[in-house]
Amino acid sequence: MADAKKTTNTSQYSAENIQVLKGLEAVRKRPAMYIGDVTTRGLHHLVYEIVDNSIDEAMAGYCTEIYVTIHQDESITVQDNGRGIPVDIHKDTKKSALEVIMTVLHAGGKFDKDTYKVSGGLHGVGASVVNALSEWCKAEVYRDGFVWTQEYKIGIPQAQVKKGSKSKKTGTKVTFLADNNIFRKIRYNFDTLANRLRDLAFLNKGLKIVLRDERSEEDENGQKEEVFHYKGGLIEFVKYLDQNRIAYHKPIYFEDDRDNVTVEISFEYNNSYNDNIFTYCNNVNTIEGGTHLSGFKSALTRTLNNYGNKNNLLKKVQLMGPDTLEGLTAIVSVKVAEPQFEGQTKTKLGNGEVKGIVESATNEKLSEFLEQNPSVGKKIIEKCITSARSREAAKKARELTRRKSALESNALPGKLADCSISDPEQCEIYLVEGDSAGGSAKQGRDRRFQAILPLKGKILNVEKARLHKILSNDEIKTIITALGTGVGEGDFDIEKLRYKKIIIMTDADVDGSHIRTLLLTFFFRYMRELVELGNVYIAQPPLYKIKSGREEHYVYDEDEKDDILKRFSKNGNANSKINIQRYTGLGEMNPEQRWETTMNPEKRTLLQVAMENAAEADHIFSTLMGDQVQPRREFIEKNAKYVRNLDI
């Protein structure tokens, strides 16, 4: 990449640069400590760890292409054209540096700042953890004119590093198969990987990342492939996010280096009513924000006020923070040598010095841009003035919905059937579609810790309305009042949340899906912290009740249905009449059945709404719920083949 800054060369990057911190013993015993969990999320994290090593090479200026392949047996190959992992003998361990990196925890070039000025990933556990959690793994290194290989089983080398044939290429290729003794299910999701790799390509302009899926037969080569290659970097990222909105100007972009911190920012204003700011540090998605976000926000408000006053555009209006954020899509990316990650999910940047650096860079670069582009400056100020007026209207509307005190039960909505326990950590609330289903849920609940809030019809589509209009919607006001947190910038307070779990329970039909999407859009846009911290869930009522003779089962998906029917057939139940009842509405079950299948914590299944990729979630919500018809049609056509159990 022409833009990257080289911090070392091939001859300097050797075994000398590989520092060993400690061994690998605990990884297989406690894998969740290293990759988060052993579910789908942890499985995909294995891929990210290997890709992050290639990204480090790209950030150092030595890698321009990365190829990720999902093979038919669910093994993964990650190959880059970087310098290749060193293979010479490491002075402390007396082993090849390749073996050290692949088998020793916290061993790698990212701990040596002469090798990598900055490096990605949160933990630096990388290849060794992936190796330890794989049934088998193979490393191939193209370096020093030869191919070098080593193979492993559950992290243990099967032989010493082998010097192979001559090769003019450079780079590293790692292939691994996750261990089914560790992971509950080994099945990679193409879109999940694509979303992460797309972000990395946007954040590293000029870097080409190719994702291939050999399990698919979508092209003439018998595989599915997506290529992510963005010469415009963050500018193209902003355009991608706003492709379903109307932008008021071309993306503003600037880059700056100060005190060993690289700041890269791109943003534009559009016709939406929300702010969409996505922040990254060393390619890590800092979903909880941090000092780089604070610096950008404060500089944006100050700079626009200064520009507006200087050019007599503000008409005695003083812009506040929220006024400069409405309709803003922005990417704030920083590269920091020693990042400090904080927060509940360790994705909040805590480096104090970064705030001032981002603030001064934004103030200087944005002021310069506005002076050179007065027509854009005028449009932005006019947009912010309109936002200021709507903020005042929203403030008045918000005051009507805010609960006066957690102790004033008469301030709660009349149709809320609250729980008797007052400790939020033990309480949960069901948002239930329809009054009749709500009545059934009220009867089939544990009144001690389960609250029921019936919702009448569909709530407002918040993607198409300003906050003051949203707060005039009766159903939304009811939800806000029941949850107790307040809503919107400066008013939302997670500490006031009255329920640890917020559970959406809707019918398994088109209307139910629409209501669920409307609710998720509202939470994502105006109470995003609830989603980020994992407070939002989706109830999973059974799709079928299958009965044969005295035996009956509630079934939650098509695969389970097929398994039950096969078992009935094998066990001779085929001679008995098999009755299959399809549930589409919540009202089709009596209160006892509802409790047993959907609300009993001992037996129910809940889907936790997680936000692995906030930027991609924003893109999907704006596609599905925005004003543009064509992108929505294309999205539905593309994804219709994945829809099952659709009732019309």
DSSP symbol at 545: E
DSSP symbol at 272: -
Question: How far is the C-alpha of 497 from the C-alpha of 7, rounded, in Å?
Answer: 48
Two tokens at 501? 């779990």
CB of 599 within 8 A of CB of 445? yes
Question: How far is the C-alpha of 35 from the C-alpha of 30, rounded, in Å?
Answer: 10
Amino acid (one-letter) located at 199? D
Active-site residue (options: 275, 323, 428, 433): 433
**Edge-to-edge strand list for the sheet holding 544-548:** 551-555, 544-548, 578-582
The runs of H, that is alpha helices, within 12-125 are: 32-35, 40-59, 97-103
Question: How far is the C-alpha of 480 from the C-alpha of 434, rounded, in Å?
Answer: 18
Question: How far is the C-alpha of 98 from the C-alpha of 78, rounded, in Å?
Answer: 16
Active-site residue (options: 49, 288, 507, 616): 507
C-alpha dihedral sign at 420, 426, 431, 432? negative
Distances (CA, A) of 244 to 156, 287, 465: 50, 22, 16
Question: How far is the C-alpha of 95 from the C-alpha of 82, rounded, in Å?
Answer: 22
Distances (CA, A) of 294 to 289, 359, 513, 532, 634: 8, 8, 36, 18, 37
Distances (CA, A) of 511 to 506, 520, 540: 9, 14, 16
The residues near 210 (Cβ < 8 Å, ≥ 6 apart) are 65, 66, 67, 68, 225, 226, 227, 228
The phi, psi pair for 547, rounded to 5°, reads: -130, 135
Q: Is 507 a catalytic residue?
A: yes
Q: Which residue has the tokens 């992936």?
A: 130
Question: How far is the C-alpha of 179 from the C-alpha of 130, rounded, in Å?
Answer: 10
Question: How far is the C-alpha of 201 from the C-alpha of 122, rounded, in Å?
Answer: 18
Distances (CA, A) of 579 to 114, 425, 479, 553: 70, 41, 39, 11
Question: Where are the extended beta strands (E) located within 426-582?
Answer: 428-433, 450-455, 501-505, 536-539, 544-548, 551-555, 578-582
DSSP symbol at 397: H
Q: Is 446 a catalytic residue?
A: no
Q: Is 511 a catalytic residue?
A: yes
Q: Are strands 134-143 and 146-153 parallel, antiparallel or unpaired?
A: antiparallel
Q: Is 509 a catalytic residue?
A: yes
The residues near 181 (Cβ < 8 Å, ≥ 6 apart) are 135
Active-site residue (options: 226, 236, 489, 511): 511
DSSP states of 166-219? E-S--EEEEEEEE-TTT-S-----HHHHHHHHHHHHHHSTT-EEEEEETT---S
Active-site residue (options: 191, 509, 557, 612): 509
**Any idea which residues carry the catalytic annotation?**
433, 507, 509, 511
